[in-house]
């Protein structure tokens, strides 16, 4: 189940940044998928227990310097902090599916 997508805002970042979950995945509940320059955070399996998960994702550039609009730009490591409330997400997703299933 996809939770979150990371889209590069600069062409220089497409297929140039590798994302890794650095914290908050001790139970291996989450995984990162990378395809066509887009990375996404997924649940590996259904989570039946409510809880908040604080996740840190690091983005590490493969090439440290790129040319952007004719200028040489240094790319640094970036950190993304996410707070995923599993109960709210599952509840909202279920309500969304039930709402639209009722319209069919």
pTM (2 d.p.): 0.68
Cα–Cα nearest to 80, from 62, 61, 56: 56
Name the average pLDDT for the chain.
Answer: 77
Rounded Cα distance, 47 and 42, in Å:
12
- Predicted local distance difference test score (pLDDT) of residue 104: 45
- Predicted local distance difference test score (pLDDT) of residue 23: 93
Rounded Cα distance, 44 and 32, in Å:
9
Query: Structural domains in the chain?
Result: 2-103 (2.60.40)
- Predicted local distance difference test score (pLDDT) of residue 56: 92
Q: Which range among 16-30, 37-51, 58-72 shows the weakest confidence by mean pLDDT?
A: 37-51
Terminal-residue alpha carbon distance, the chain? 23
């Amino acid at each position: 189940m996809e939770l979150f997508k990371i889209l590069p805002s600069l062409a220089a970042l497409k297929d140039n940044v590798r994302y890794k979950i650095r914290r908050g995945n001790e139970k291996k509940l989450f995984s990162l998928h990378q395809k066509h320059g887009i990375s996404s955070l997924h649940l590996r399996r259904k989570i039946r227990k409510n809880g908040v998960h604080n996740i840190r994702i690091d983005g590490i550039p493969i090439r440290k310097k790129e040319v952007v609009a004719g200028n040489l730009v240094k790319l640094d490591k970036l950190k993304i902090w996410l707070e995923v409330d599993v109960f709210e997400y599952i509840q909202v997703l279920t309500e969304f599916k039930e709402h639209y299933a009722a319209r069919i």
